[in-house]
Amino acid sequence: MTHTPSFLHNTESPGALRMHRMRRFLKVLCAALAFGILTWALVIIFVTVQTARTVVEAEQSLRLAMEVAEELRFEEAHDHVVRAEVLMERIGRGVAILNTARFLPWVGTQTRAAEGMVRASQGMVHAFERLLGIGGDLLRLSGLSEESLREMTQGLSPSVTFDDLPAETKLLLFRRLAASSSDFTSAAADIDLARAELATIARHNLLEPIRRVLEPIERRLAETEEALHLAAVATHLLPLYVGTDGERTTLILFLNNDELRPGGGFIGTYGILRMKHGDITSLQTRDVYHLDREASAITTTPPRALQTYGSLAQWFFRDSNWSPDFAESSRQGLNLFAREVSLIPAETRATIPTAEHIDGVIGFTPTFVSELLSLFGPVAVRGQTFTSQNFADKLEYAVEVGYVGEGLPKSQRKEILGDLVEEMKSRLYRLPAARWPALAASVQEGIRTKQLVLYSEDPRGQSVIEQAGWGGRVTRDEGSDMQMLVDANLSSLKSDPVVSRDIHYEIFRNTDGEYVGRTTVRYQHRGTFNWKTTRYRTYARLYVPKGSTLIRAQGNLRNDRLRNPSLAAGTVDVGEELGLTTFGTFTSIEPGETRELVFEYLLAPSVVDEIRSGAYSLHVMKQIGARPYGLTLLLDFDKSVIIASPPEEASEWGDDIYGLNTKLDQDRFFTVGL
């Protein structure tokens, strides 16, 4: 075979050559793309890890800012906040890079989490900046030295306490606090927004460092927001109680919930507190019988139940809190107090705490005092040591029995309480700054459980109290269902601690298709007959929506077993009060016995309409001063329950009944979608 000289050169066609070059180009391109993708992936992984680490660092900075701020080291707290801002800017830059891979599910999850935490942190920073500004101002105004500040924060015996500050300094501090109410409100709003941002973050497939910091942040933010709401209300009310603009007089009610009354407890002792420019100018406490005895000529007629079951012919100040609404009982109390003061002979008036004008009322129970003692520690008075565990029992024994052994006249038996008040006031002023958050928590708990309640004669101040839920008001949303059991211990000594209650509320349809409500109160008396406890005698009232119609009652008595040996049934007083229908009746429980009191009634038309509309709601209110009760709901709507809050157990889903067991230690709200 012969070949031309160009044989090798001409074996590939031009098209084949182009294809060969194209393949080489694609190989190079794919290699470059693979390298680029690998590099990009490595960058994404690196940035993701670094962003997660930075998120943790930012959380640590904010946590440290909170911790040192609680110790009043505001400049150091500010440095931590600035550090957190720098870290958030770094996170933002990392998020911008991660956004290029947002379409990848795992990366998108981390990116959205980082973005949410940045937005939440920004809200936290705004809140902290407001608070640090207030804290710095207060620190400057106080004029405290670094040594005094160290003693306050570390809980040492400080050489300077709040009580030692000059009157002018106290006034400046209180005025600055009063002016900061809106700042606390705004800070709480910032924290609320931060919590909302964190709530949007999906927990599934999150990097472990991010997931680890989320839960403690959310818990801390919830606690902070609650404290800020408390501070906002407290600082708004400061001028009304501490007298920043002139003297203020407050009536103090010691509500003994061992002898439960509708307004919180029997008023065995009262006090008159006068404050001016932040200083306590006087604080006098006295056995209420000193006042009532001097006003024995009073002609005010008591409510019929107090006449019938309490054997009272006159309505004295000590029995004034007959309404379960603290504002109503305070107004009634102030009215009776003023009448009694007007009847006191001039020669004895100087020996009894009185006031021509009262600006507000503060009521609290031994339960709240015990909470404070858990914070302050044991308090020794007149050779006796009171703790959070023994306060109520030990004080009760001292004023009912112990004073005899000490050789004290009956008229002086409650003076020990005045000494206790003075010592606790001193402990409050010496409380280390590091314990102030714990004090705020104790106040919050007292308000939440209705062991601490307030009333102001100033309409604007009272409006703030009511909006914050500090006033022990009886309220109801229009159309919603409502339950409130109110007991009045009448001549049962101090038996309430040994008498438990369980409330069982049912809804069902009768044979006529009408919706019926049935409330069963189970009383169990675990006490005996002794100096402190006896048979339990109560005039019990059930508050329900207006328009409810009583069908029957069971377990009510004409009087106790001593006066009614046959245990004949009593009557039920049906009335209207506070915009609600009331069913009131008497019952009695012997020591060691259990008794059930039952009210059965047709639901109010407004509640029936709500059920038929498919949107039922229930508000169960707790009585002021009451200890926690058991609460059971068994609500048969005769139509499918679609959704409910709080939810039932999963095993109970899919029928017409909403059933729940809970504890009535505060007001409770329930909603059911039908």
How many CB atoms are closer than 10 A to CB 558? 16
Which of the pair, 207 or 431, is modelled with greater confidence?
431
Per-residue model confidence (pLDDT) at position 47: 60
Binned at pLDDT 50, 70 and 90, residue 45 comes out as low
> Does the structure show a pLDDT above 80 at 49?
no
What the block records as the tokens of 155 is: 């809980």
Average pLDDT over residues 305-323: 97
Per-residue model confidence (pLDDT) at position 371: 95
> Does the structure show a pLDDT above 90 at 274?
yes
> Does the structure show a pLDDT above 80 at 604?
yes
How many CB atoms are closer than 10 A to CB 349? 12
Per-residue model confidence (pLDDT) at position 445: 95
> Does the structure show a pLDDT above 70 at 5?
no
Cα torsion through 657, 663, 664, 668, rounded to 10:
-50
Alpha-carbon distance of 570 to 472, in angstroms, equals: 30
Average pLDDT over residues 572-592: 97
Instruction: Give Cα 72 to chain centroid, integer Å.
Output: 25
Per-residue model confidence (pLDDT) at position 50: 75
Percent of the chain beyond pLDDT 70? 88
Average pLDDT over residues 422-433: 83
Alpha-carbon distance of 236 to 185, in angstroms, equals: 10
Average pLDDT over residues 407-431: 86
Which of the pair, 546 or 72, is modelled with greater confidence?
546
Per-residue model confidence (pLDDT) at position 83: 84
How many CB atoms are closer than 10 A to CB 419? 14
Which residues, in sequence order, are bridge partners of residue 575? 582
Per-residue model confidence (pLDDT) at position 143: 77
> Does the structure show a pLDDT above 70 at 388?
yes
Amino acid at 625: G
3-state SS string over 635-674?
Answer: EECCCCCCEEECCCCHHHCCCCEEEEEEEECCCEEEEEEC
How many CB atoms are closer than 10 A to CB 620? 21
Q: Which span out of 137-146, 271-280, 434-443, 627-636 was modeled with the highest average pLDDT?
A: 627-636
Per-residue model confidence (pLDDT) at position 112: 73
Which residues, in sequence order, are bridge partners of residue 503? 521, 631
Alpha-carbon distance of 439 to 429, in angstroms, equals: 12
Q: Which sign does the torsion angle of CA 448, 450, 451, 453 carry?
A: positive
Q: Which of 423, 436, 288 is nearest to 369 (CA)?
A: 423
- Average pLDDT of the chain is 87
Which of the pair, 630 or 349, is modelled with greater confidence?
630
**Alpha-carbon distances of 13 from 2, 3, 6, 21, 23, rounded to whole Å:** 21, 17, 13, 13, 16
What the block records as the tokens of 513 is: 């298709």
Q: What is the DSSP letter of 4?
A: -
Binned at pLDDT 50, 70 and 90, residue 218 comes out as confident
Average pLDDT over residues 311-331: 97
> Does the structure show a pLDDT above 90 at 20?
no
Per-residue model confidence (pLDDT) at position 662: 97
Per-residue model confidence (pLDDT) at position 153: 58
> Does the structure show a pLDDT above 90 at 126?
no
3-state SS string over 78-122?
Answer: HHHHHHHHHHHHHHHHHHHHHHHHCCCHHHHHHHHHHHHHHHHHH
Percent of the chain beyond pLDDT 90? 55
- Can you tell me which residue has the tokens 């900075």? 61
Amino acid at 404: V
Per-residue model confidence (pLDDT) at position 367: 97
Alpha-carbon distance of 561 to 254, in angstroms, equals: 31
Per-residue model confidence (pLDDT) at position 354: 94
Per-residue model confidence (pLDDT) at position 87: 79
Q: What is the DSSP letter of 378?
A: -
Residue 384, phi then psi, degrees to nearest 5? -120, 145
Residue 37, phi then psi, degrees to nearest 5? -65, -40
> Does the structure show a pLDDT above 70 at 12?
no
Which of the pair, 316 or 126, is modelled with greater confidence?
316
3-state SS string over 570-635?
Answer: CCCEEEEECCEEEEEEEEEECCCCEEEEEEEEECCHHHHHHHHHCEEEEEEECCCCCCCEEEEEEE
pTM to 2 decimal places: 0.86
Report helix, strand or coil for 167. Answer: helix
Per-residue model confidence (pLDDT) at position 84: 77
- 443-449 long-range contacts (CB < 8 A, ≥24 apart) are 443/230, 443/234, 444/226, 444/227, 444/230, 445/371, 446/364, 446/367, 446/368, 446/371, 448/666, 449/367, 449/622, 449/628, 449/665, 449/666
Question: CB neighbours of 550 closer than 8 A, spacing ≥ 6?
Answer: 572, 574, 583, 599, 600, 601
Beta strand spans in 313-383 (E)? 360-364, 379-381
Rg (CA), the chain: 34
Alpha-carbon distance of 32 to 174, in angstroms, equals: 70
CB-count burial class (<10 Å; 0-12, 13-18, 19+) for 342: exposed
Q: Which of 595, 577, 380 is nearest to 482 (CA)?
A: 577
Alpha-carbon distance of 560 to 563, in angstroms, equals: 6
The answer to whether 132 touches 77, Cβ cutoff 8 Å, is yes
Average pLDDT over residues 394-404: 88
The answer to whether 632 touches 638, Cβ cutoff 8 Å, is no
- Can you tell me which residue has the tokens 């189970």? 522
Per-residue model confidence (pLDDT) at position 414: 87
DSSP codes, 436-448: HHHHHHHHHHHHH
DSSP codes, 136-165: HHHHHHHT--HHHHHHHHHT---SS-GGGS
Per-residue model confidence (pLDDT) at position 199: 80
Q: Which of 327, 368, 577 is nearest to 461 (CA)?
A: 327
Mind listing the pLDDT tens digit for each residue in 484-509?
999 999 999 999 999 999 999 999 99
Give the range among 139-153, 492-506, 534-548 with minimum mean pLDDT: 139-153
The answer to whether 473 touches 621, Cβ cutoff 8 Å, is no
Q: Which of 83, 59, 90, 81 is nearest to 126 (CA)?
A: 81
Per-residue model confidence (pLDDT) at position 638: 95
Per-residue model confidence (pLDDT) at position 40: 54
Which residues, in sequence order, are bridge partners of residue 550? 601
What the block records as the tokens of 587 is: 């019952």
Per-residue model confidence (pLDDT) at position 65: 76
The answer to whether 540 touches 485, Cβ cutoff 8 Å, is yes
Average pLDDT over residues 463-472: 95
Q: Which of 515, 518, 544, 550 is nearest to 656 (CA)?
A: 515
